[in-house]
Chains A and B, each alone.
Chain A
């Protein structure tokens, strides 16, 4: 027997099984993939829905932040802050045309800016002079350990170009969503991306760009 059994008259149950969607076919009627807007609304009060949003956005948010801060443990800290802020701000979130992604990435972008404000280099001359020869105190202070190729590459871009490139490729956002985050129009975003990619092309060189 299937997961849905008809014990008595069996008039319409079997027919509706044919309509059922889902792996086991227990649904009757129509089944819709719930739109993200509904998940966001549910997430205001339902932890399962919030967990769903977290799963959808964690990797994208983390990658964007990672390439901005260039350090795994800092990226984890900032990512944690972003989701905590999202959780606390969610009751005030109102659905607008551009959806949830620009909202959470605006939080992420601001969190990165705050991160850099907090982490201005504070090494004194005494620290630098007393450090052993093989140490890299400036590098430690700046958190510049093990930067990835992309993180190093985008450092050569302007702040806006870097944002656009990372929001586009690390966060996988559309031009419309990026425009909403940066409060620019889509044409300006495309122009920033175009110029950013041209700079990166020079840095990468023709041979490496042809990946």
Chain B
């Protein structure tokens, strides 16, 4: 309380009122029922307004109506691959980004095998990252969140070094797909698993960073990620990470 200017008697009254107000019990049954109703209603409402999200509004405003229809279909049927040649890279990127964003919360653990080449040195590292029960990952607007013990935490990947950065790198793909100019490559396989190749490049000072990702078309999760850094046309560093996941049911 911040009633320090009040006299002692009034502070005592304030304490008593605060105490009395806390003596109201809550019906946990009502609380739980209302919560369930609200979350069901939330799903209904967000289903209706999904297409008003800024990212997709921008996509629709810049693309032809036919493409917008394709994106809508992909959003409604995220697990269904739109066959044939991709109409445009941006539509495919939007589809993969959406599939990834929806699938990430189902990941319960993952393994990263990282191969790194820097100059004449080649190293290899394995990282295994389990999520304890009740903890879930999310991505939103390029940020990574973990939900655990009824709280949200934002995870940054600022650490240098192999595991520290690469263990979360796959989570950065949805934002990259929506905000970078992406090229969609041909469908191929990684370790026998069908994947789609997407690539984009960014510039950092005098360095060019090229990223290639191989993404499962059904889950949207990154199966392999490669990052090459060049300066003045010379390769400075190349890292390639293979990801494997365990997932719960969506």
Contact at A11–B159, with CB atoms within 8 Å? no
A58 within 8 Å of B (CB atoms):
yes
Question: What is the 8 Å Cβ interface bit string for chain A, positions 1-30, against chain B (1 contact, 0 not)?
Answer: 001111111111101100101111011111
Given A12-B161, A29-B155, A52-B150, 14 more A-B residue pairs with CB atoms under 8 Å apart are A8-B124, A9-B123, A10-B125, A12-B162, A23-B149, A34-B145, A42-B140, A50-B39, A50-B42, A91-B49, A148-B24, A153-B17, A209-B12, A209-B16
Q: How far, in angstroms, from A31 to B135 measured CA to CA in the complex? A: 14
Which A47-85 residues have C-beta < 8 A from chain B?
47-52, 54-55, 58-59, 62-63, 66-67, 72, 76, 79-80, 83-84
- The answer to whether B161 and A16 have CB atoms under 8 Å apart is yes
Pairs of residues from A and B, 6 with the lowest C-beta to C-beta distance, nearest first: A12-B161, A150-B20, A7-B126, A34-B152, A170-B21, A211-B16
A13 to B154, CA, bound (A): 20
Q: Do residues B150 and A204 form an inter-chain contact, with CB atoms below 8 A?
A: no
Structural contact, A193 and B3, CB atoms closer than 8 A: yes
Tell me the bound Cα distance from A76 to B25 in angstroms.
12
Q: Are A148 and B23 in contact (CB under 8 A)?
A: yes
Judge whether A200 is part of the interface by a CB distance below 8 angstroms: yes
A64 to chain B, nearest CB (A): 9
For the complex formed, measure the closest distance between the CB of B67 and the CB atoms of chain A, giving whole angstroms. Answer: 23
Complex CA–CA separation, A51 to B26 (angstroms): 17
Contact A47-B39, Cβ < 8 Å, known A67-B21, A87-B45: yes
Q: Are A29 and B13 in contact (CB under 8 A)?
A: no
Q: Does A133 contact B (CB under 8 A)?
A: no
Provide 17 A-B residue pairs closer than 8 Å at the C-beta atoms, listed in order of the A residue: A7-B128, A12-B161, A21-B153, A28-B157, A31-B154, A32-B153, A42-B145, A46-B138, A47-B39, A48-B138, A50-B42, A87-B38, A91-B52, A169-B18, A170-B24, A194-B6, A200-B13
Tell whether B212 is near chain A: CB-to-CB under 8 Å.
no
Report B-chain residues with C-beta under 8 Å of the C-beta of A19: 159
Contact with A along B136-172 (1 / 0, CB 8 A): 1010100001111111111111111111100110000
Contacts of B14 in A (CB 8 A): 169, 197
Tally of chain B residues near chain A (CB < 8 A): 72
Q: Does B129 contact A (CB under 8 A)?
A: yes
Contacting pair B158 A9 (CB below 8 A): no
The answer for the CA separation of A170 and B23 in the assembled complex, in Å, is: 10
Q: How far is the CB of A159 from chain B (nearest CB, A)?
A: 17
Q: Which residues of chain B come closer than 8 Å to A174, judged between CB atoms?
A: 2
Specify which of A29, A49, A67, A198 is in contact with B164 (CB 8 Å cutoff).
A29
Query: In the docked arrangement, what's the CA distance between A194 and B2, Å?
Result: 12
The CA of A153 and the CA of B5, in the complex, are separated in Å by 23
Please indicate the chain B residues that have their CB under 8 angstroms from the CB of A9 in the complex: 123-125, 162
The CA-CA distance from A197 to B20 in the complex, in Å, is 14
In-complex Cβ contact of B39 among A51, A166, A209 (8 A): A51
Q: Are A47 and B43 in contact, with the CB atoms below 8 A?
A: yes
Contact between A79 and B123 (Cβ–Cβ < 8 Å)?
no
Query: Complex Cα distance A13/B44, Å?
Result: 42
With the chains together, A20 CA to B45 CA distance in Å? 37
Contact A47 B42 (CB under 8 A): yes
Chain B residues with CB under 8 A of A24: 132
Contact of A16 with B27 in the complex, beta carbons under 8 Å: no
A107 in the interface (beta carbon within 8 A): no
Closest Cβ of chain A to B115, distance in Å, is 10
A7 to B125, CA, bound (A): 7
Q: Evaluate whether A52 and B152 lie within 8 angstroms (CB atoms) in the complex, with A26-B130, A197-B13, A211-B19 already known.
A: yes
Q: Within 8 Å CB of B35, what residues of A?
A: 51, 54, 58
Contact of A134 with B by CB under 8 A:
no
Asked if A28 and B128 make an inter-chain contact with CB atoms under 8 angstroms apart, the answer reads no
B77 at the interface (CB under 8 A from A): no
> Does A126 touch B at the CB level, under 8 Å?
no
A59 touches B26 (CB 8 A): yes
CB of A34 within 8 A of CB of B38, answer no
* Contact yes or no, A34 B167, CB < 8 A: no
A78 to B23, CA, bound (A): 19
